[in-house]
Amino acid sequence: MLQNNKKIIFLLFSLIPILIWKITCINYNVSNDIINYNALNSLKDMIFNYNSFKLIFKFLILDTKLILSIIFILIAFNFTKNKRIFYFSLLVGMSYMFLLFMVYLITPYDLTWHLSSSGSRVIMPLTFLFSFFGLLQIYYKREKIYVT
């Protein structure tokens, strides 16, 4: 019971910077141009637009660095067979990719411009994630460590 209380207290303290940031943004009238009240209407219009998905796919999924990192993690998994790390990295990567698709679908700007100006920048964390977990699998295999 004491351990759970420590976790709850830690969680509450970790929310303090977010609350300070939000209060500061509200006080100084700082707003977000992507997430606004019209975001759901924009999503409703864009979600059935096949060309939007095709364009997002072209800029994000077909990025050379991402493809190479996916090939690397697949090769590492083929040699190590560490399913736990592999599935975790896929879960995190797919969640991040889903969020990127949603952000680009609700953008109020021209989709081509938005993707060309930010696509390679936002895909970099995913590339690093797959590369890191590929290296982690190789390290665990080399050190004969198995994650249970």
111 lies in the same domain as 61: yes
What are 137-142's contacts with CB under 8 Å, separation 24+? 137/73, 137/76, 137/77, 137/79, 137/80, 137/82, 137/85, 137/86, 138/76, 138/79, 138/80, 140/80, 140/82, 140/85, 141/79, 141/80, 141/82
Number of domains in the chain: 2
Q: What is the mean pLDDT of residues 64-88?
A: 93
15 lies in the same domain as 75: no
- CB within 8 A of 34, min separation 6: which ones? 103, 106, 107, 108
Q: Is the dihedral of CA 128, 133, 138, 140 positive or negative?
A: positive
Do residues 73 and 130 lie in contact, with contact meaning Cβ atoms separated by under 8 Å?
Answer: yes
99 lies in the same domain as 121: yes
Instruction: Match 């943004």 to its residue by tokens.
Output: 25
Query: Length of the chain in residues, anyone?
Result: 148
66 lies in the same domain as 2: no
pTM: 0.74
42 lies in the same domain as 11: no
Q: What is the pLDDT of residues 66-77, one digit of tens each?
A: 999 999 999 999
| 71 in a structural domain | yes
26 lies in the same domain as 69: no
Q: What is the pLDDT of residues 93-133, one digit of tens each?
A: 999 999 999 888 888 888 899 999 998 899 999 999 999 99
1 lies in the same domain as 53: no
| 53 in a structural domain | yes
| Owning domain of residue 42 | 34-142
| 64 in a structural domain | yes
Both structure tokens of 83: 């399913």
